[in-house]
């Protein structure tokens, strides 16, 4: 329990310090996977939706015009306040905000028609428990839709990419594989309706800026990209575009339904 508490505190410190960066980050504002999530989830005007670990609030914002109510939660008070200010500035009054741990959601059984979570579970100590919580609070027949970073099944690539991510952001826990995410959903009693991988290009310095990475660590990260072992190199695909270092990360979009 102490280790899990320490993990939560680290996440809160990291995101509390960089809350505004996540509201304005282009990598979080837009994305093909978010558009795809909305099409697959098919939110309805009378639905009540829950956005877990809302971060900058971009998924909650995208849902707000499509449903009756959105509840946006996050573990970190500072980032929750930044998300609320952002969404209120966009004129949406049907979004409420609540501090909550994704692995221990403060809601009753079957309260929501849709539960979403985007680009956050790689910070969770126990993502299987998080998915069980999502399955608990969604109604029978309701959907759970998750987007998160994933790695290749190759263990060398997985270890290298996760070490790379953790150097940039110490609150990073682990990015799992597509197969592991399927097991989380099935283990929570959710049928997997859709699973799709996306390859997302990242501008190295903008990606590092989001977490205010110090110059020494930034140099170490660049070495880890350019001199990665072959399986990780094939996944990261570092390259120069317009004089800037660009690399790829992989995301999964998984949509499940509670029976």
Mean pLDDT value across residues 109-114: 98
How far apart are the two ends of the chain, measured CA to CA in Å?
Answer: 32
Q: What percent of the chain has pLDDT over 70?
A: 88
Strand 244-258 to 239-241 pairing: antiparallel
Closest C-alpha among 26, 50, 62 to residue 203: 26
DSSP letter for 40, please. Answer: H
Give the per-residue pLDDT at 18.
46
Give the per-residue pLDDT at 208.
95
Mean pLDDT value across residues 141-161: 97
* Burial of 191 (C-beta count, 10 Å sphere; 0-12/13-18/19+): exposed
Q: What percent of the chain has pLDDT over 90?
A: 86
Residue 241 has pLDDT above 60, yes or no: yes
Strand 112-118 to 138-150 pairing: parallel
Mean pLDDT value across residues 177-188: 98
| Percent helix, percent strand, percent coil in the chain, to nearest 5 | 45, 25, 25
Tell me, rounded to whole angstroms, the distance of Cα 55 from its chain centroid.
8
Give the per-residue pLDDT at 32.
87
Strand pairing partners for 257? 143, 191
Give the per-residue pLDDT at 38.
96
Give the per-residue pLDDT at 46.
98
Query: In 173-227, at which residue ranges do the beta strands (DSSP E only) sit?
Result: 190-203
- 127/150 Cα distance (integer angstroms): 13
- The domains of the chain, with CATH numbers, are 2-152+171-201+249-258 (3.40.50.150)
In which region does residue 73 sit, left (phi positive, over 0), alpha (psi from -120 to 50) or beta (all else)?
Answer: beta
| Mean pLDDT score across all residues of the chain | 91
Query: In 21-121, at which residue ranges do the beta strands (DSSP E only) sit?
Result: 48-52, 69-74, 95-99, 112-118
């Amino acid at each position: 329990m102490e280790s899990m508490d320490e993990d939560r505190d680290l996440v809160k410190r990291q995101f509390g310090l960089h809350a505004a960066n996540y509201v304005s980050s282009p990598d979080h504002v837009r994305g093909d996977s978010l558009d795809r999530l909305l099409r697959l989830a098919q939110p309805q005007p009378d639905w009540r939706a829950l956005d877990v670990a809302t971060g900058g609030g971009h998924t909650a914002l995208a849902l707000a015009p499509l449903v009756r109510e959105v509840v946006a939660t996050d573990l970190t008070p500072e980032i929750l306040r930044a998300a609320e200010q952002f969404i209120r500035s966009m004129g949406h009054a049907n979004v409420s905000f609540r501090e909550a741990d994704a692995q221990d959601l403060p809601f009753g059984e079957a309260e929501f028609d849709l539960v979403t979570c985007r680009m956050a579970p790689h910070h969770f100590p126990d993502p299987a428990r998080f998915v069980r919580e999502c399955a608990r609070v969604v109604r029978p027949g309701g959907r759970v839709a998750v987007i998160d970073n994933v790695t290749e099944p190759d263990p060398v690539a997985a270890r290298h990419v996760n070490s790379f991510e953790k150097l940039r952001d110490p609150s990073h826990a682990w990015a799992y594989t597509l197969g592991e995410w399927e097991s989380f959903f099935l283990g929570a009693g959710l049928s997997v309706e859709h699973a799709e991988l996306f390859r997302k290009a990242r501008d190295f310095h903008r990606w590092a800026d989001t977490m205010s990475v110090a110059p020494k660590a930034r140099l170490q990260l660049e070495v880890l990209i350019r001199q990665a072992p072959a399986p990780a190199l094939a996944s990261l695909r570092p390259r120069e575009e317009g004089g800037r270092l660009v690399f790829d990360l992989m995301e999964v979009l998984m949509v499940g339904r509670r029976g």
